[in-house]
């Protein structure tokens, strides 16, 4: 039987529920069934972000650490448990430079166009951060490409097939980012290079039957001041039984 410390729920200044023990100190908010520390789990889930400017470009990420992260990511859900996902780690400087060149050829005009359209402060910060990565991708310690062994069904009449295809890969990418964040490693999910997928495949020896799904720029990050990003109210984006019907 799981032992749970005596505690009572209290509200913090942020409105979040925490637990207070007999002596008035903060205790772990432990789930009685799973034993998880909910505060730490939720901190990981809400503060894992796309890290660009805070990547440490001078510190290599050891291969064994990346393999440990990928091993965890491979436990993410995948259709039929077929395990057709693969990962390719790129640390060679010349290869990174060639990928970065094609990445920038797409990223620079895309971000310049968006900078003119999305003029609010929040959007400008995101664009500025993305532009930094465009200019420094070749310096990032590791580029990790998520792949699948076949090609996606992109016919509009087979939407379910396309959803199942990418839905078997992308949970693993998010799991990679979570496992990396827990180890002090940041990552940025990118897709600019996919406009040149064939050229990148040839460069890295990837067969034409294998699909590149996304590229993660990976490196240790500086500081531990990540906070949850502002998001719409859950009641604004969640409906019950019918479209636009609120959850009461």
Burial 82-99 (b: 16+ CB within 10 A, else e): eebbbbbbbbeeeebebb
Dist CA 28 CA 18 (whole Å): 8
Q: Where are the domains of the chain?
A: 49-220
Whole-prediction pTM? 0.86
The CATH classification number of 49-220 equals 3.40.109.10
240 within 8 A of 247, measured Cβ to Cβ: yes
Which of 68, 211, 52, 69 minimizes the C-alpha distance to 145?
211
Cα-based angle 172, 173, 179 (whole degrees, multiple of 5): 85
Partners of 143 in beta bridges: 90, 217
pLDDT in tens, the chain (248 residues): 334 443 434 434 334 445 544 444 555 789 999 999 999 999 999 999 999 999 999 999 999 999 999 999 999 999 888 899 999 999 999 999 999 999 999 999 999 999 999 999 999 999 999 999 999 999 999 999 999 999 998 887 888 888 999 999 999 999 999 999 999 999 999 999 999 999 999 999 999 999 999 999 999 998 878 999 899 999 999 999 999 999 99
């Amino acid at each position: 039987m799981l032992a749970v410390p005596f505690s009572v729920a209290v509200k913090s200044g942020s409105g979040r529920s925490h637990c207070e023990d007999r002596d008035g100190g903060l205790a772990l908010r432990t789930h009685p069934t799973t034993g998880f520390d909910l505060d730490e789990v939720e901190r990981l889930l809400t503060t894992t972000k796309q890290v660009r400017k805070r990547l440490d470009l001078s510190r290599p990420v050891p291969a064994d650490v990346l393999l440990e992260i990928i091993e965890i990511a491979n436990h993410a859900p995948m259709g039929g448990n077929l395990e057709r996902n693969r990962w390719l780690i790129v640390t060679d400087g010349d290869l990174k430079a060639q990928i970065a060149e094609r990445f920038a050829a797409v990223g620079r005009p895309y971000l310049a166009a968006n900078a003119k359209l999305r003029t609010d402060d929040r959007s400008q910060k995101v664009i500025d951060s993305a532009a930094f990565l465009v200019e420094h991708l070749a310096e990032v310690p590791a580029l990790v490409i998520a792949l699948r062994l076949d090609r996606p069904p992109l016919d509009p009449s087979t939407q379910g097939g396309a959803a199942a295809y990418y839905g078997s890969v992308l949970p693993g990418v998010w799991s990679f980012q979570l496992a990396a964040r827990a180890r002090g490693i940041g990552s940025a999910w990118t897709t600019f290079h996919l406009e040149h997928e064939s050229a990148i495949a040839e460069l890295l020896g990837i067969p034409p039957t294998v699909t590149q799904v996304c590229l993660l720029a990976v490196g240790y990050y500086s500081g531990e001041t990540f906070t949850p990003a502002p998001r719409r109210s859950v009641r604004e984006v969640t409906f019950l039984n019918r479209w636009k019907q609120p959850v009461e």
